[in-house]
Chains A and B, each alone.
Chain A
Amino acid sequence: MTLRFASLAAAAVLMAAGPAMADLVVPHLSYRTGPYAPNGTQYADGFNDYFTLLNERDGGIGGQKILTPECETAYNTEKGVECYEATKGDAALIYNPMSTGITYQLIPKAGADQKVLYTPGYGRTSAKNGKVFEWVFNAPANYWDGASVAVKHMLEQEGGDVNGKKIALVYHNSAYGKEPIRTLQELGEKHGFELMEVPVDPPGQEQKSQWLQIRREKPDYVILYGWGVMNQAAIQEAANIRFPMDHMIGIWWSGSEVDVQPAGAGADGYKSLTFNGVGTDYPFYDDLKTHVIDAGKASQGGQYVGSAVYSRGVYAALIIGEAIRTAQELAGSPEIDAAQLRDGFEALNITEERMAELGLPDFGQPIQLSCENHGGAGMARLQQWDADEQKWSLITDFMEPDAEVLAPLIEEDSAAYAQEAGITPRCG
Chain B
Amino acid sequence: MSQETKYTEDNIRSLDWKEHIRMRPGMYIGKLGDGSSPDDGIYILIKEVLDNSIDEFVMNAGKTIEISVKETSVTIRDYGRGIPLGKVVDVVSKMNTGGKYDSKAFKKSVGLNGVGTKAVNALSSYFKVQSVRDNKTTFAEFERGNLTNSPEIEDSSLRKGTKVTFSPDPEIFLKYKFRSEYIVKMIKNYVYLNIGLTIIYNGEKYFSENGLKDLLEENIANESKLFPIIHLMDEDIEVALTYSKAQYSEEYHSFVNGQHTTQGGTHQNAFREAIVKTVRDYFGKNYDASDVRKSIVSAISIKVMEPVFESQTKTKLGSTEMGGGLPTVRTFISDFLKTRLDNFLHRNPDVAEKIQKKILQAEKERKELSGIRKLARDRAKKASLHNKKLRDCRVHLGDMKKDNRLDTTLFITEGDSASGSITKSRNVNTQAVFSLKGKPLNSYGLSKKIVYENEEFNLLQSALNIEDGIENLRYNNIVIATDADVDGMHIRLLLITFFLQFFPELIKEGHLYILETPLFRVRDKKQTFYCYSEQERKDAIKSLRGKPEITRFKGLGEISPNEFVHFIGKDIRLDPVMLDKEMSIEEMLAFYMGKNTPDRQKFIIENLKVELDLAEELE
| Pair from one complex | no
Q: Please list the residues of chain A having a beta carbon within 8 angstroms of any beta carbon in chain B.
A: none
Q: Please list the residues of chain B having a beta carbon within 8 angstroms of any beta carbon in chain A.
A: none
